[in-house]
Amino acid sequence: MSLAKLPIALLIILLVTTHIITAQYIVDVDALCIVTRVIDGDTVDVVIVRVFDEKYSMLSGREVRVRFADINAPEIYTTEDKAAKDFLYSLVQGKYVYLDIDDLYVYDRYGRIVAVVYLPVNNTTLLNVNLYLVVKGYAEITDYPNEFYPATWKLYIEENTTTSQKQSATTKTVTITHVHVTTKTVEKTVTKTTYTTITVTKTKTQQTLITQKETITVTQTTTITTSLAKTLVQR
């Protein structure tokens, strides 16, 4: 699925700087994307809408497969896998999520991007989806070799926490801006009249032209989207 094929309304995105500071660690937000398909309980396909780290610029606009870092959902095609997949689908399908990509390896051995996935739940909070799946019993922690430390994960990332224990080369001013989108659908009815001429043969030598009028009512739907940007926190 290419970026060009996304509906215009879906391209109104949430904006965020490279780092979100939390009480436990710095969440290194690398990309914003929209979930296009849930593969199983710990794997999704996404379209990268915006990249915040230049080294991942080649991913912008692409559809990629993402493997949730350091968790394992039940094996595919099992009853437990279906439950995990259905739960993840209801949580993230068609929604915008942020990716904290594993800067150490980026990909796993199957070519999937390894990341911690964050879902905006309101104007000030992000949900760590990896940890949420574990808390809900649909996955378990498996600490694979990468940059992440599941023991330090925080379930909800609040915008009003300011200290950090995770090592980072740089700490930037944090501004989290959300774009509030209001979509209104307007329906308009248009009546079109068409005329059709037919020929009626009465005898072998006489023909009569008859004009028939046909009225067609067409309903046109127009979607109008308005947005309001609001800066929630600035340090």
Domain borders along the chain are 3-181
- Decide if pLDDT at 140 tops 80: yes
pLDDT at 15: 42
15-26 residue pLDDT tens: 444 555 544 446
Q: Which residue has the higher pLDDT, 196 or 62?
A: 62
In this prediction, residue 93 has a pLDDT band, given cuts at 50, 70 and 90, of very high
Three-class SS state of 130: helix
- Bridge-based pairing of strands 113-120 and 19-21 is unpaired
DSSP secondary-structure letter at 132? H
Q: Which of 85-89, 112-116, 165-169 has the lowest mean pLDDT?
A: 165-169
Reported as a single tens digit per residue, the pLDDT across 177-188 is 444 444 555 566
pLDDT band, very low/low/confident/very high, at 119 (cuts 50, 70, 90): very high
3-state secondary structure 43-112: EEEEEEEEECCHHHHHHCCCEEEEEECCEECCCCCCHHHHHHHHHHHHHHCCCEEEEEECCCCCECCCCC
Per-residue pLDDT, 201 = 58
In this structure, are residues 98 and 133 in contact, taking their beta carbons and an 8 Å threshold?
Answer: no
Using DSSP's 3-state secondary structure scheme, residue 25 falls into coil
Please report, in angstroms and rounded to a whole number, the separation of the first and last CA atoms in the chain.
37
Specify the CATH architecture of the domain 3-181: Beta Barrel (2.40)
At residue 41, the pLDDT reads: 96
Q: Write down the pTM of the prediction.
A: 0.62
Q: Which pLDDT value is given to residue 231?
A: 37
Lowest mean pLDDT among 21-35, 48-62, 154-168: 154-168
Of the two residues 194 and 92, the one the predictor is more confident about is 92
Average pLDDT over the chain reads 76
